[in-house]
Amino acid sequence: MTERPPHGSARPGGRTARTRAAVLAAAYEELDRESFATLTLDRLAQRSGVHVSTIRRRWRTVDGVIVDLLAERSAALPTPDTGDFRRDLEELARAIGDFNNALRNRNVIQGLLVAAAHDPRVEEIVRDAFVRRTEEVTQIVSRAIERGEVPEDTDAREVIAAMAAPIYYRVLILRGFVDERLAYTAVETAYRAARAGVFVRKA
């Protein structure tokens, strides 16, 4: 079986792109009212005005739509650049917190983990999406290294993961919301460890 091109990659701005935008917008709206469990292709068709057979042909399942939605939404988060390492981490923590406090985003993440548990290909897509997103914001750490705020050879991905992990733990395991206190402890914990050289790569 040959791989098809990524969803919506053909004719950017054309009908394919418009169809993708309509279906993803519909999914995002539905997830603001309903959980992932109740989402169906028929519902997406109804809300988006795109025929269900078109949706099925392109994404195959609800899982496929959710995976595509993650790609679209996570591209929307900016990388802070305030000139100060702690402040960059604070802004990033706030952005991740706000994202995860919105019901529909929680439902996207939940849906992704369900999809990943059902399908190793989705598992890989989820992993790649988070790795790519982490990679983007590692600039926060590279800039801190340049400014001499953290030691050289600090593993930037480890720093970002250390800061983000408590937020995902709260959301996915404790099923709670991200508050000021959690953002504070997550930033402070990662910041201090990074400054102290905990994330310096061993020779």
* CB-based contact 11:18 (threshold 8 Å): no
Whose tokens are 């905990």? That residue is 198
CB of 4 to its own copies, least distance (A): 23
User: Of 38 and 53, which has the nearer Cβ to its own copies?
Assistant: 38
DSSP state of 155: -
User: Of 22 and 113, which has the nearer Cβ to its own copies?
Assistant: 113
User: Of 7 and 170, which has the nearer Cβ to its own copies?
Assistant: 170
* Helices within 75-202 (DSSP H only): 85-101, 103-118, 120-137, 139-146, 156-168, 180-195
User: Of 50 and 93, which has the nearer Cβ to its own copies?
Assistant: 93
User: Of 11 and 118, which has the nearer Cβ to its own copies?
Assistant: 118
User: Of 17 and 161, which has the nearer Cβ to its own copies?
Assistant: 161
CB of 66 to its own copies, least distance (A): 11
CB of 46 to its own copies, least distance (A): 22
From CA 53, how far away is CA 59, in angstroms rounded?
A: 10
* CB-based contact 177:98 (threshold 8 Å): no
Nearby residues of 151 by Cβ (< 8 Å), 6 or more positions away: 145, 197, 200
CB of 195 to its own copies, least distance (A): 10
CB of 103 to its own copies, least distance (A): 13
Residues that bind its own copies (CB under 8 A): 35-37, 110-111, 113-114, 116-119, 123, 126-127, 130-131, 158, 161-162, 164-166, 168-170, 172-176, 181, 185-186, 188-190, 192-193, 196, 198-199, 202
From CA 127, how far away is CA 122, in angstroms rounded?
A: 9
C-alpha distances out from residue 27 to 16, 57, 64, 66, 91, Å: 17, 16, 11, 8, 28
CB of 132 to its own copies, least distance (A): 12
